Amino acid sequence: MIKTNSISKSIFLLAFLLCSTIAPAQNNKQKALETRRQELRREIQKINELRTENKSKEKSELSLIEDLNYKIRVLDNLIKVTNQQANLLTREIGANQKRITALRDELKQLKEDYAAMIVKSYKSKNQQSKIMFLLSSNDFKQAYKRLQYIKQYSDHQKQQGETIKAKTRELQQVNVDLLKQQEDKKKLIADNREHQKALETERKQHETIMKAVRKNISLYASQIKNKQREADRIDAQIDRIIKEAIASSNKRAGKATSSATFALTAEEKILASNFTANKGKLPWPVEKGFVKLGYGKQPHPLNKSLTINSNGVRIATERNAKVRAIFNGEVTKIVAIKNGNIIVMVRHGNYFTAYKNLGRVYVKKGDKISTKQEIGEVFTNPSSGETTLNFSIFKETRTENPASWIYKM
């Protein structure tokens, strides 16, 4: 019987240690998932707010498809994250149910042991019995040991009582946690149902627009190609500006103007180093907004056979949105694009940031600017009501993905 109890206690101890190790890891994962879920919810809220702001304007089919594609993608991600949270809660609920069973079994055993101890103590509680037990010792040493045994037995009895109280409190707390987890899971499931409905609505709207577009796909393909050619023309102009800046810096340093890299001063080297050190932590170039078009080559959402080549990101934002410098630097160039809007280019050592599609500019060439300083205002298209900032980062003439540099882009 003693051997069986020992094995049972060992199994329980092992299970408890496993739960103690797994629980914090699961809790951290749950927190990370909840943080991501809230980010996605805020993203959808921003999209809805911008839609409401521009609902009086007739957007082109191209723009509507971009908006819908983005919102569908965010909703898909939100549903996935919420499902992950619900599945993790299911595992946590299962683990807590097992823990409750194990705690009840242990509590039962502790109470049985305690009851047996009380009965034994009751039978020998007579003070005269204790005195006789001490007096019947063969010598002083044995009497001392017996006295110690009586004290240890009494302390053990108290300890068992405290252990039972502690385990009872632990069991009650696990029950409370279990009820909260079950309630949280219900809320997540209810949230996901709402997200699924919203996703279905967006997909239906997307399909309706796509049907209309397919009837005249050649016209839209031509518009897409024209937009890409215009973007390529602007990119080529920016490339020339950067090459001119490199040639100018090399000339001042007495180096070959044909070099593809900057001849940096000591101050410029520090600025470039600080810019690099803040990679992934730089602020957004607008206070509110979301990325409608990401960086790099990608199929066009309207016609998969056509490719978009984006050397930066396109950010949808609110009307009259202020453009902010993402880091300390110097205004190198302000360009008014033909058939387009203003571009402000800021140099950060051997890095450049380009802020395109500005309606108003608050700085001039040569100005030293600081992080988050307002440098202008995003242009709002009067016919569609869209306010979008095109933003790029360059290391010399090589483009960089802004999502790698801007915080949580």
| Average pLDDT, rounded, for the chain | 84
Asked if pLDDT for residue 340 goes beyond 70, the answer is no
Give the confidence band of 116 by pLDDT, cuts at 50, 70, 90.
confident
Asked if pLDDT for residue 190 goes beyond 90, the answer is yes
Which tops the pLDDT comparison, 251 or 50?
251
> 3-state secondary structure string, the chain?
CHHHHHHHHHHHHHHHHHHHHHHHHHHHHHHHHHHHHHHHHHHHHHHHHHHHHCCCCCCCHHHHHHHHHHHHHHHHHHHHHHHHHHHHHHHHHHHHHHHHHHHHHHHHHHHHHHHHHHHHHHHCCCHHHHHHHHHCCCCHHHHHHHHHHHHHHHHHHHHHHHHHHHHHHHHHHHHHHHHHHHHHHHHHHHHHHHHHHHHHHHHHHHHHHHHHHHCCHHHHHHHHHHHHHHHHHHHHHHHHHHHHHHHHHHHHCCCCCCCCCCCCCHHHHHHHHHHHHCCCCECCCCCCCEEEECCEEEECCCCCCCEEEECCEEEECCCCCEEECCCCEEEEEEEECCCCCEEEEEEECCEEEEEEEEEEECCCCCCEECCCCEEEEECECCCCCCEEEEEEEEECCEEECHHHHECCC
Q: What is the pLDDT of residue 99?
A: 84
Provide CATH code, domain 225-405: 2.70.70.10
Give span(s): CATH 2.70.70.10, the chain: 225-405
Give the confidence band of 165 by pLDDT, cuts at 50, 70, 90.
confident
Which tops the pLDDT comparison, 289 or 9?
289
Stretch 326-332: mean pLDDT: 97
Beta-carbon contacts of 301 under 8 Å, excluding residues fewer than 6 positions away, are: 65, 66, 69
Q: What is the pLDDT of residue 195?
A: 92
Asked if pLDDT for residue 115 goes beyond 70, the answer is yes
Asked if pLDDT for residue 403 goes beyond 90, the answer is yes
Asked if pLDDT for residue 2 goes beyond 50, the answer is no
Give the confidence band of 130 by pLDDT, cuts at 50, 70, 90.
low
For the entire predicted model, the pTM comes to 0.69
Query: What percent of the chain clears pLDDT 70, i.e. is strictly above it?
Result: 85
Stretch 105-116: mean pLDDT: 82
As a whole number of angstroms, the distance between CA 39 and CA 41 comes to 5
Least trusted range by pLDDT, from 125-139, 232-246, 271-285? 125-139
Least trusted range by pLDDT, from 15-24, 241-250, 308-317, 400-409? 15-24
- 141-163 tens-digit pLDDT: 777 777 676 677 666 667 777 88
Q: What is the pLDDT of residue 1?
A: 44
Stretch 175-185: mean pLDDT: 89
Q: What is the pLDDT of residue 259?
A: 82
